[in-house]
């Protein structure tokens, strides 16, 4: 699977999750630009760093969807923008693969897989903190939210 296909799949999954929570969601799409060399694909995010904008009666949520390996780079990119304190700005980092044993600890612990780690921007300190873990259970958009202790 190419990185573009993986990104599109993750964005669609995040969109289904947000819609199941009662949000109206708009997704940024790539566009084709026709040049003298033929069509070229360009990617346009909202504000240069946001993949999804979700709106319900109380909130506007700006979501960047990424793989867990690109989490720090996406957070830095978002921090270069100025965000209103009333809006929710999040990075949803996907950890795929399979569950595996974490060898850093003496007692056995499992690293879970196939879930989003949601990091939310704190407007007071202008830093990100992990607020929730969401595991999609099916392609229908039904989810099982797990609160972080």
Give the residue extent of every domain in the chain: 3-147
Task: Pull the structure tokens for residue 88.
Answer: 């929710």
- Give the global pTM: 0.77
| Most confident stretch, 5-9, 27-31, 86-90, 129-133 | 86-90
| Phi, psi dihedral angles at 104 (to 5 degrees) | -75, -15
Strand (E) or helix (H) holding 65: strand 60-67
The predicted pLDDT at position 147 comes to: 37
Phi-psi region of 107 (alpha: psi -120 to 50; beta: other; left: phi over 0): beta
pLDDT in tens, 52-101: 999 999 889 999 999 888 899 999 999 998 898 888 999 999 887 766 66
Domain 3-147 top-level CATH class: alpha beta
Bridge partners of residue 121, in order along the sequence: 128
33/105 Cα distance (integer angstroms): 51
CB-CB contact of 15 with 52 (8 Å): yes
- Residue 74's closest CA among 117, 33, 20? 117
Please report, for residues 6, 52, 133, the alpha-carbon distance to residue 16 in angstroms, rounded to integers and kept in the order given. Answer: 15, 11, 16
CB-CB contact of 63 with 47 (8 Å): no
pLDDT in tens, 89-123: 999 998 877 666 667 777 766 666 788 888 999 98
């Amino acid at each position: 699977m190419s990185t573009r296909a993986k990104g599109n799949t993750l964005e669609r999954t995040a969109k289904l999750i947000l819609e199941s929570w009662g949000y109206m969601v708009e997704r940024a799409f790539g566009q084709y630009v026709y040049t003298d060399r033929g069509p070229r694909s360009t990617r346009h995010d909202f504000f240069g760093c946001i993949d999804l904008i979700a709106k319900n009666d109380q909130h506007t949520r700006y979501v960047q969807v990424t793989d867990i390996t690109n989490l720090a780079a996406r957070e830095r990119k978002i921090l270069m923008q100025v965000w209103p304190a009333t809006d929710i700005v999040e990075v949803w980092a996907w950890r795929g693969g399979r569950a595996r044993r974490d060898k850093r600890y003496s007692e056995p612990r499992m690293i879970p897989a196939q879930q989003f780690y949601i990091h939310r921007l704190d407007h007071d300190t202008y830093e990100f903190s992990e607020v929730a873990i969401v595991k999609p259970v099916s392609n229908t958009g039904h989810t099982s939210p797990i609160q972080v202790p």
